Structure 1
Amino acid sequence: MSCPTYQDAIHHTGILDLLAPFDPHVVGTLPLGIALPDSDIDIVCHAQDPDAAAELIWTAFCSIDGFALYRWSARGRPLIATFEADGWPFEIFVSPEPVADQAGWQHFVVERQLLDLGGFALRDQVMTLRMRGMKTEPAFTTVLGLTGDPYSALGALYGRSDQDLLEIITATPDL
């Protein structure tokens, strides 16, 4: 019997229905098609009151393997919940910032846009670096020759046109 897909795990847990009041979006390497075997299912959410989301998540998942719930000390004190279900690790990020303003969402949008424009050549180079242990954002910025902090460099591309991103891609050797 094969392991369930990440989409099956999302469906079986009912997580998106449960989190519907908090504008949930699945992000990260799985929907981008650049996941590694240990990749988790990342979900970003918006909650004006993260405590309400914490209560809902606690009630639904506190008895599940690997469950943890904590708050960051960063601005807005976002909430993080982790657990395992259907053979998949989940990570839920809940912020008082709207999803569109969250770095995790913005990086996902840019990465998806870059992969759509850069095709298999970009995907292969990013995956090579990821398989060597590099995180996603640093892998993208390394392949594209972007300098500085990889998270800031990728975030700076959010909202750029396809033409702007295509210029970056075509200026990259080996792409």
Structure 2
Amino acid sequence: MIDFTNLNYLKTGNKKQKRAYEVLEKYKVFEKLKVYSPVLAGTIPIEIDIENSDLDIICEIDLQFEEGFLDDIRSSRLIPTDAEVKVENIMINGEKSMVLNFMLEEIQVEIFGQNKPSLEQNAYRHMLAEYRILQEQGEEFKHKIIELKKQGIKTEPAFGLLMELENPYEDLLKF
């Protein structure tokens, strides 16, 4: 099992993973977000990304003090001054969440924060379950997931289709 809490696995991964590692290191993203317990999740770590996949960085953020988080992001110069930043406050499964989207060079970055430990957030837990399933199901299954994603189907629903899951967002958490 890959230790997804340590970015070193990206250094020996595929081309996109290596590039992601270079950009994350160049901008010191995880160093600047350290107090928020960042972890990379999503499709790039488990190699089911498609051309427009972004880097999903999960953080633990006390959303009562979201302005403090945004101030930390600004003062750390994590985001280039000329970058367009989109900030959203949303509810996911009844939990307040914050999403920041911006570009670092050619890579779309999404910082996702909830008021719970990063490793307990569903995005990370889904990725672990998906990784285990990919390891069990093999390359053909992996290629089917990627093809569904290219057709515009999101990751969890793609797994749900191939595995006949009734509610993939909930059912994947059981793996």
Taking structure 2 as the reference length, what is the TM-score of the superposition? 0.79
Bigger drift between 56-65 and 130-139 goes to 56-65
Provide the rounded CA distance (Å) in 1 between the counterparts of 2:82 and 2:107.
Answer: 12
Provide the rounded CA distance (Å) in 2 between the counterparts of 1:5 and 1:62.
Answer: 18
Equivalence for 1:8 = 22
- Pairing 1:35–2:49 present: yes
Amino acid at match of 1:26: L
Higher Cα radius of gyration:
1
- Pairing 1:57–2:73 present: yes
- Pairing 1:116–2:135 present: yes
Instruction: Give the C-alpha shift of residue 34 in structure 1.
Output: 0.7
Provide the rounded CA distance (Å) in 1 between the counterparts of 2:36 and 2:67.
Answer: 12
Aligned residues: 155
1:30 is paired with a residue whose SS is coil
Instruction: Give the C-alpha shift of residue 67 in structure 1.
Output: 1.1
Taking structure 1 as the reference length, what is the TM-score of the superposition? 0.79
Equivalence for 2:84 = 66
The answer for unaligned runs of 5 or more in structure 1 is 158-175
Instruction: Give the C-alpha shift of residue 76 in structure 1.
Output: 4.6
Equivalence for 2:6 = none
Match of 2:173 among 150, 155, 160: 155
1:127 is paired with a residue whose SS is helix
Residue pair 1:47, 1:97 contacting (<8 A) in 2 also: yes
Identity within the alignment, %: 22
Provide the rounded CA distance (Å) in 2 between the counterparts of 1:127 and 1:76.
Answer: 29
Residue pair 2:39, 2:119 contacting (<8 A) in 1 also: no
Match of 2:151 among 103, 108, 132: 132
Instruction: Give the C-alpha shift of residue 71 in structure 1.
Output: 2.0
Equivalence for 2:37 = 23
1:54 is paired with a residue whose SS is helix
Measured on the aligned residues, the alpha-carbon RMSD in Å equals: 2.1
Equivalence for 2:97 = 78
